[in-house]
Structure 1
Amino acid sequence: MVMRAFVQPLNKLLMRSNSILTSKVNPSTYILNPSTDSSQFSKSQLVNHGELEDGVIPEALKYSLPFYQDTLSNGLKVASEPSNVPLVTVTLQVKAGVRNESFQTNGLGHFIKKLRARGTEKRSRSQLAADLENMGAAFNIKTGKEMTTFQIEVQPKDLKKAMDVLSDIALSSKFNKNFIEEQREASLTGLRDTADVRKFILENIHYTAFRDHMIGQPIRGNQVSIGNITQEGIKDYIDAHYIATRMVLVATGSVNHEEFRSLAEKHFGQVKNSGRDITGEDKPIFTGSQVQIRDDDVDMSHAGIFYLAPSWNSEDYFAFQILQRIMGNYRPARDSIINHPHLQYNYLHKWFGEIEDFGEHDSYYIPYSDVGLFGHYASTLDLSGFFSPHACLKATRRATNYVMEAEKYRARNRYYNDLLNNNDLFAQGKEIADQLYYAKRRIPRSEIAKRVSVADARYLEKIYTAWLWDCELALAFYGPIFTQVRLYGTYRGYTNDSNQI
């Protein structure tokens, strides 16, 4: 039997107050009865939900998985979201990122991440690898601007051992001086690797936008800062940030919450709840500027065009999630008729289709705790390199003046499908951990869908005008860019009517 629940429309309340934090709506309004039909959460083909009225969400999104949350005695948050997936993923997220480093030791968090694979106090490097392999575990550590995330995925029968390994890596890694010197050489060599050009452009966008703040510094550091890393510096960083009140522990998949909480208490219950003074909590200041890196040995020209955008805590957060889906991503297929410029439903993609030798395009909305970035990455051959930034600027400026009803419906449908097809346990764990840190609670997908459904086109135009009209830009160019370089003021003029595109 499938239990069904209905959410009363809240259009008037949410139309002008779309905040995930400041809305006065009781969160329990959105916590609907979970479905007993596991197919509600299975992977399926994308669905065209049509032009649903404002405030109406697809029936399948009225169901949310059960969610449990506790706080250990030391302040560490423990949460789980059980499902019928025959695996379990444990996510440990620590509020420690580049913004908590210093200019002298930039790259320290990423450096520590690399050292963790070299063994712990209980396990040598080979023993650690053997334990993970014997469980058939998928393990990953990711360092970011604000967070460091540990994730391990195993079969349910191996959860106890997985928790032991995870806590060992996160809390008892060995940082001896020989390992540090070996990793220093490897890190310095890695700085010369620019194979992932998209990541390289995004790093430079952050740098030129927030160059006076640590959030703008590269995750991998630089040659000088890596040379400054010491064993004592690593210990100080761990002592300051790896404390219970800055941690969130989440399990997704086939998990029993009481068992998981008991394991969390056993392996993380002794983590201290206070540490040294924390740096990097001041708000970054966005600076309009551009950075140009010419390399004639690169085949393609690469561009990043970014704007200041809402933070995670902003009431305009969901409006920019919709904008990212309006702009979308574009990959030309020259031999396919569906990629013909005149058959593109998206104006930006239509303009890209008219550019000869266009490479690819991705749009990004990157929110942090107190600031955010929205923008575009585009690549093309140099002869067309001048036109791709203009197309991005033109499409973004258009959104401040006019959002078509069709664009709104397509963006909503894409968002609904993203919610319905989020079956990656790693992604689910990261999403829950982010929400527990930024929003202080789990945001049910039914609530997200409801907030998206009440954002009409005129409301979106108003929000985009406030953020994207007549504003500063962060620009980054890389490759054989001699025909692409223009003065910053020229691009800046395209955010209003002073320069016609």
Structure 2
Amino acid sequence: VTFDYLHATAFQGTALARTVEGTTENIKHLTRADLASYIDTHFKAPRMVLAAAGGISHKELVDAARQHFSGVSFTYKEDAVPILPRCRFTGSEIRARDDALPVAHIALAVEGPGWADPDNVVLHVANAIIGRYDRTFGGGKHLSSRLAALAVEHKLCHSFQTFNTSYSDTGLFGFHFVADPLSIDDMMFCAQGEWMRLCTSTTESEVKRAKNHLRNAMVAQLDGPIEQLLDYNRIRSGMYWIRF
């Protein structure tokens, strides 16, 4: 819900402001004709990627593609490619207050780069420096993340995590935390302080550790054929991410 609110206010008036699931009213009024129209408009050969991983040869994949997808059209109606308008970012805030809840869920973000922007990798490294935290973590305040150590020492929050969500031409770079109502200001102050520290006093050893952490995380995601297929279908392959 928190991230639905975040998108609703950050990309207000655009397609990204809508929830992925859609509204109950729209779902109830969805018809077979709507689905057929969507498939006919968007399921075109230039917009499809066929990937395979595991025990399959190139010839077998080509034969399967010819058998199942040879009838897919290469052209759009009236030769018009659907134009997707750019989703603009709007600096704003939204608050849904409910004093009956024991904790507060806070998300703060700035506009991030799209998938194709090289800065995407840089922001992932920055997030690795800030790290993440949960009360269930062991180690007490002896954690590599400076913000996590502060959270433990001063009981700032129950948990926090960073995120870098990218779309085709824009994105959201920020952090989300869960805290007691009386600790919100202190946690926000420390989290924003970590952002400023990224700009002024991050050490070379922190950057190196963050790069190693990110490399390990990216490789760990490719531990099976399903994960490899998802990687093949991304705009950029995982190898691009590892070469930094």
TM-score, structure 1 normalization: 0.45
Give the superposition deviation at 1:416: 2.2
Give the superposition deviation at 1:283: 1.2
Q: Which residue of 2 aligns with 1:420?
A: 219
Would you say the 8 A contact 2:156–2:186 is kept in 1? no
Q: Which residue of 2 aligns with 1:248?
A: 49
Would you say 1:429 and 2:229 are equivalent positions?
Answer: yes
Letter paired with 2:133: Y
Letter paired with 1:243: K
Match of 1:307 among 110, 113, 117: 110
Partner SS for 1:398: helix
Would you say the 8 A contact 1:355–1:387 is kept in 2? no
Would you say the 8 A contact 1:326–1:408 is kept in 2? yes
The percentage of aligned residue pairs carrying the same residue is 24
Q: Which residue of 1 aligns with 2:30?
A: 229
Give the superposition deviation at 1:369: 1.1
Match of 2:208 among 409, 430, 454: 409
Query: In the superposition, relative to structure 1, how do residues 397 and 239 fare at CA in structure 2: closer, same or farther (>3 Å)?
Result: same
Q: State how 1:15-34 maps to structure 2 within 5 Å.
A: none
Would you say the 8 A contact 1:305–1:392 is kept in 2? no
Q: State how 1:88-237 maps to structure 2 within 5 Å.
A: 200-237=1-38
Query: In the superposition, relative to structure 1, how do residues 230 and 420 fare at CA in structure 2: closer, same or farther (>3 Å)?
Result: closer
Match of 2:184 among 380, 385, 389: 385
Would you say 1:288 and 2:116 are equivalent positions?
Answer: no
Query: In the superposition, relative to structure 1, how do residues 270 and 417 fare at CA in structure 2: closer, same or farther (>3 Å)?
Result: same
C-alpha distance in 2, partners of 1:420/1:268? Answer: 32
Q: Which residue of 2 aligns with 1:152?
A: none
Give the superposition deviation at 1:254: 2.5
Partner SS for 1:364: strand
Query: In the superposition, relative to structure 1, how do residues 279 and 292 fare at CA in structure 2: closer, same or farther (>3 Å)?
Result: farther
Would you say the 8 A contact 2:150–2:156 is kept in 1? no
Would you say the 8 A contact 1:214–1:280 is kept in 2? no
Give the superposition deviation at 1:262: 1.0
Q: Which residue of 1 aligns with 2:133?
A: 330
C-alpha distance in 2, partners of 1:293/1:267? Answer: 48
Would you say the 8 A contact 1:310–1:316 is kept in 2? yes
C-alpha distance in 2, partners of 1:322/1:329? Answer: 13
Q: Which residue of 2 aligns with 1:375?
A: 174
C-alpha distance in 2, partners of 1:298/1:274? Answer: 53
Match of 1:268 among 57, 69, 73: 69
Partner SS for 2:30: coil
Would you say the 8 A contact 1:355–1:384 is kept in 2? no
Which runs of 5 or more structure 1 residues have no equivalent in the other structure?
1-199, 453-501
C-alpha distance in 2, partners of 1:219/1:419? Answer: 25
Offset from partner CA, 1:419-477 (integer Å, 9 cap, x none)? 43331333321221112xxx5xxx462x5333x2xxxxxxxxxxxxxxxxxxxxxxxxx
C-alpha distance in 1, partners of 2:57/2:100? Answer: 55
C-alpha distance in 1, partners of 2:97/2:81? Answer: 38
Which structure: larger Rg? Answer: 1
Q: Which has a greater percent of strand?
A: 1
Give the superposition deviation at 1:383: 2.5
Q: Which residue of 2 aligns with 1:456?
A: none
Q: CA RMSD in A?
A: 2.1
Q: Which residue of 1 aligns with 2:163?
A: 364
Would you say the 8 A contact 1:240–1:278 is kept in 2? no
Would you say the 8 A contact 2:132–2:145 is kept in 1? no
Letter paired with 1:424: G
Match of 1:344 among 128, 143, 155: 143
C-alpha distance in 1, partners of 2:100/2:121? Answer: 41
Letter paired with 1:220: E
C-alpha distance in 1, partners of 2:97/2:238? Answer: 46
Would you say the 8 A contact 1:304–1:377 is kept in 2? yes
Would you say 1:449 and 2:223 are equivalent positions?
Answer: no
C-alpha distance in 1, partners of 2:204/2:36? Answer: 55
